[in-house]
Amino acid sequence: MTILQNCSLQKATFFLTGFQGLEDLHGWISIPFCSIYLTVILGNLTILHVIRTDATLHEPMYYFLAMLALTDLGLCLSTLPTVLGIFWFDAREIGIPACFTQLFFIHTLSLVESSVLLSMSIDRYVAICNPLHYSTILTPARIVKMGLSSVIRSSLLILPLPFLLKRFQYCRSHVLAHAYCLHLEVMKLACSSIMVNHIYGLFVVACTVGVDSLLIFLSYALILRTVLSIASRQERLRALNTCVSHICAVLLFYIPMIGLSLVHRFGEHLPRIVHLLMSYVYLLVPPLMNPIVYSIKTKQIRLRIIKKFEFLKSL
């Protein structure tokens, strides 16, 4: 009877992994992770608060920045409970429904971020290449539609993944390689063929991240062509300076993603900790750095944040 109960429990749960071999140091390791999560939450909430309360920032560029901050905040909160749960309470067990739910939100929000970065590149293209029609092209209603379409597209494409995983029997080890659930890791534990999952996963990446990155590259090629046609060197620099923050955000998102993909496919000989660190870099560095980059490189945001802190200091 005990054996049957243990088998039933194993079929209903997965087991997450922290830093293997360093379990005694999990308390200390949690300190930088707590600092990162706290910085991500405070940084993105600050960006959202500044944009919401300052009427001068109610423009398309800042609406898209607010979408990016919301996405980063959601991505952070989707991994926080299990990551800190392992470090603080050694809570490694996660039910399959909870695992699939976390998986859905992590992958959906990653695709939403890619879509938002594409929307921001369109915003910069219109602002530089067609400035006279900027306000008529990027109307509030159109911006809302772009945001909703990003969420709907990402959700519909990721929604089949939990159902594709649910049909498997997991007769192998139920131990996952990370402190959170990812589609690639979960499907490797299945007993039967995972070819359908592989093909569908590649299809999702190709028609979202692949298409988005191509269109972002195309938009900046057109922006560069327009900027080079401007006679004044000062005007050229001013136009390019408005794109610096977005270019940094694009690089912060795509470079870790490409690095993680290369490590997964060609780095099997690398130590496991390299895979682990790359996954944390992919999920935590963009939400951590985006508010910092926009606070430093976007003058309007920087000045509003300084004013907020000066007001709080006076109180």
pLDDT of residue 109: 97
**Stretch 199-219: mean pLDDT:** 95
Q: How confident is the model at residue 307 (pLDDT cuts 50, 70, 90)?
A: confident
pLDDT of residue 268: 74
**Stretch 104-119: mean pLDDT:** 97
Q: Could you give the C-alpha distances from 295 to 13, 136, 240, 252, in angstroms and in order?
A: 42, 28, 17, 15
Class of the CATH-defined domain 17-314: mainly alpha
**Stretch 252-257: mean pLDDT:** 93
pLDDT of residue 266: 76
Q: How confident is the model at residue 2 (pLDDT cuts 50, 70, 90)?
A: very low
For the cut 80, the answer to whether the pLDDT of residue 292 exceeds it is yes
